[in-house]
Amino acid sequence: MKAIILYDTRTVGGSTDTFIELLGQKLAKTGAYVEKAKCKAVADYSFVQDFDVIILGAPVYYLLVSSELLGALIQSNLKKYLKRKKVALFLTCGSPEPMATMMYLPQLKIHLMRNKILAEKIFAPDQLRNEEVLDGYIEELTQNYRTAVKQRDASLHWTDEALEMLEMIPPFFQNRVRMITEEYAEEAGYREITLEVVEEAKGEMER
Ligand SMILES: Cc1cc2nc3c(=O)[nH]c(=O)nc-3n(C[C@H](O)[C@H](O)[C@H](O)COP(=O)(O)O)c2cc1C
């Protein structure tokens, strides 16, 4: 699994930074390749295409999810490139979990109505200090990812022609084309990936 943690915080070296460091380390120990990137409201997010899983998270300040992450979802092309992506969500905050689940998580989820959410979790101060809670979040994320990929692989079949075409693409670009095509085929309900499906997927991404 290739994952990226897209996050925001106003506090350098604060609780979110510490949490993300640990999240990245623990996720990497499961065999995942992990990168992290701090969000800016206005930026080019086309790089998220290269990742299987996008983990979005931030603290809450004054009742709102931190502004650069929310801003990125509203003002930039992040939402476009998150289309069809598997995502996981987390928030760090001072409120108890039930309240934060009701008040703050929807601020992110409203932008991700069509995404497969592998895991979502509120990390209130006592949970931030509890590694078992983080382990549980990672377990849920990785387990749900494996199940989703297994289901997709079982239902999708590349035709020989489509595979031959894929093999003609330079290796550094091959994975991206494979991933985009499979995500497109999965959403469109195709069971077989033909040359036409690859073309359709390409056309969709160029829109
Ligand atoms: C200025 C400020 C405002 C905050 N507002 C809220 C809030 O409205 N709701 C909440 O649950 N937590 C709130 N918190 C708590 C933070 O979300 C929590 O401490 C978080 O872990 C801070 O992350 P950071 O250390 O990366 O900045 C606030 C904290 C600060 C410093």
Q: What pLDDT does residue 145 have?
A: 96
Q: Rounded to an integer, what distance in angstroms lies between the CA atom of residue 5 and that of residue 94?
A: 21
Q: Which two tokens stand for residue 174?
A: 């091959």
Probe ligand 1: pick from 9, 16, 93, 127, max atoms within 8 Å of CB? 93
Query: What is the amino acid identity at position 31?
Result: G
Helices (H) and strands (E) in the chain, counts: 10, 8
Domains in the chain, ordered, with CATH? 2-152 (3.40.50.360), 156-206 (1.10.8.550)
Determine phi and psi for 76, rounding to 5 degrees: -105, -170
Beta bridge partners of 192: 157
Q: What pLDDT does residue 90 have?
A: 98
Assess whether the C-beta atom of 15 lies below 6 angstroms from ligand 1: yes
pLDDT per residue of the chain (207 residues) written in tens, 0 to 9: 999 999 999 999 999 999 999 999 999 999 999 999 999 999 999 999 999 999 999 999 999 999 999 999 999 999 999 998 999 999 999 999 999 999 999 999 999 998 999 999 999 988 988 999 999 999 999 999 999 999 888 889 999 999 999 999 888 888 888 988 998 998 888 999 999 999 998 887 776
Instruction: Spell out a b/e string for 152-167, using b for 16 or more CB atoms within 10 Å of the CB, else e.
Output: eeeebebeeebeebbe
Determine phi and psi for 56, rounding to 5 degrees: -110, 130
Assess whether the C-beta atom of 115 lies below 6 angstroms from ligand 1: no
Q: What pLDDT does residue 154 have?
A: 86
Q: What pLDDT does residue 175 have?
A: 86
Q: Rounded to an integer, what distance in angstroms lies between the CA atom of residue 128 and that of residue 132?
A: 10
Assess whether the C-beta atom of 9 lies below 6 angstroms from ligand 1: yes
Assess whether the C-beta atom of 106 lies below 6 angstroms from ligand 1: no
Q: What pLDDT does residue 207 have?
A: 67
